[in-house]
Amino acid sequence: MANHKKQTSKSPIGIFDSGIGGLTVARAINKIMPNEQLIYFGDTAHFPYGEKSPDSIKYYALRISDFLLKQNCKMIVIACNTASSVAYQTVKNQAGNKALVVSVIEPVVNNVANQYKQGKIGVIATKGTIKSDIYNKRLKELNTSLQVSSVATPLLAPMIEEGFYNNNISRTVINSYLLKPKLKNIDALILACTHYPLIRPEIEEYYKQKVKIIDSAEIVAEHVYALLKEHRLLNKDQGEKSKFYVSDYTDSFAKSTKIFYNNKIKLQYNPIWENE
């Protein structure tokens, strides 16, 4: 690994995901910390992570983290639930004292455990996240009175990545998952994939405001703010322009980024796997 300069408040925040989902987290961070420079990496070449083996995900996470550390990032946000569930400790070990590391799972679990003393919590996510059973384990560790019911929703992330939402196709797919018996009589639903905030309006429409929808992006952004403040790493001045990289350039990704940043994003193709 390359030599690293010491991180300062002006150093960027690194964010990575398997695709566009992590942009929901990037946008939330940008909203409450407009001075921060973000370096985003969407691993579109290996999307979706939810279908990959834990070893593969750890390998991708390590390579991307190495890239972000070489950009002198003061923090790495794993803006992907699947990667957070299997590769958080791996990335943390790699970063050492060079950068803070944030998973998208812990802030959400802590928030829900504090907010709900009892009741039934639903979780929808990719196969990888559900298979890890991390939400159930973590929530039960913090609050044994909670009932946690998890459902794998593997079609949602690829559907969103291809731009299918807010239409009849997405509504049919979403409703078929939410109708599953395991999600009956839930008090809250955790959107345990960073892609899912893009279909939040459709999920809210299904539940007709009777179920609290928990969006990880805003909770994670608040946690990032608190952590940077605690370590005196908040950038008080306007930082450099944010950079957005993808490991495979796709038109659907380029179109979807406009939802978050209009036409302000310039995607840069960076196949870091070829530099081995």
3-state secondary structure the chain: CCCCCCCCCCCCEEEEECCCCCHHHHHHHHHHCCCCCEEEEECHHHCCHHHCCHHHHHHHHHHHHHHHHHCCCCEEEECCHHHHHHHHHHHHHHHCCCCEEEECCHHHHHHHHHHCCCEEEEEEECHHHHHHCHHHHHHHHHCCCEEEEEEECCCHHHHHHCCCCCCHHHHHHHHHHHCCHHHCCCCEEEECCCCHHHHHHHHHHHHCCCCEEEEHHHHHHHHHHHHHHHCCCCCCCCCCCCEEEECCCCHHHHHHHHHHHCCCCCEEECCHHHHC
Which has the higher per-residue pLDDT, 261 or 167?
Answer: 167
The pTM for the full model equals 0.89
Task: Give yes or no: residues 34 and 124 share one domain.
Answer: no
pLDDT category of residue 2 using cuts at 50, 70 and 90 = very low
Q: Is there a catalytic annotation at residue 80?
A: yes
Residue 120 confidence (pLDDT):
96
Domain membership of residue 5 (yes or no) is: no
Q: Which of 15, 39, 77, 80 is catalytic?
A: 80
pLDDT value, residue 1: 38
CA distance 154 to 124: 9
Whether 98 is in a domain gets the answer yes
Which residues neighbour 192 within 8 Å (Cβ) at sequence distance 6 or greater?
Answer: 81, 105, 108, 123, 124, 125, 129, 135, 216
Q: Is residue 7 assigned to a domain?
A: no
Same-domain pairing of 95 and 133: no
Structure confidence at residue 117 (pLDDT): 87
Assess whether 176 and 229 both reside in one domain.
Answer: no
Percent of the chain with pLDDT over 70: 95
**Residue 91: CATH number of its domain:** 3.40.50.1860
**Catalytic one of 193, 199, 211, 228:** 193
Q: Are residue 252 and residue 120 in the same domain, yes or no?
A: no
Residue, of 264 and 36, whose pLDDT is higher? 36
The string of pLDDT tens digits covering residues 64-95 is: 999 999 999 999 999 998 899 999 999 999 99
Asked if residue 49 belongs to a domain, the reply is yes
192 and 113 both lie in a single domain:
yes
Question: Of 198, 216, 234, which residue constitutes the final position of a domain?
Answer: 216
253 part of a folded domain: yes
Domain count of the chain? 2
Q: How confident is the model at residue 171 (pLDDT cuts 50, 70, 90)?
A: very high
Is 53 domain-assigned?
A: yes
- The pLDDT-based confidence of 261 (bands split at 50, 70, 90) is low
Q: Of the residues 216, 241, 259, which one is the last residue of a structural domain?
A: 216
Sign of CA dihedral 98, 102, 106, 107: positive
Average pLDDT (150-159) is 92
Judged against a pLDDT cut of 50, whether residue 177 lies above it is answered with: yes
Q: What is the pLDDT of residues 122-142, one digit of tens each?
A: 999 999 889 999 999 999 999
217, pLDDT greater than 50: yes
Question: How do residues 26-65 score in pLDDT, each as one tens digit?
Answer: 999 999 999 999 999 999 899 888 889 999 999 999 999 9
Percent of the chain with pLDDT over 90: 64
* Shared-domain flag, residues 120 and 207: yes
For residues 228 and 204, state if they share a domain.
no
Residue 145 has pLDDT above 50, yes or no: yes
Establish if 8 belongs to a structural domain. Answer: no
Domain boundary pick from 194, 216, 238 = 216
Q: Which domain holds residue 122?
A: 106-216
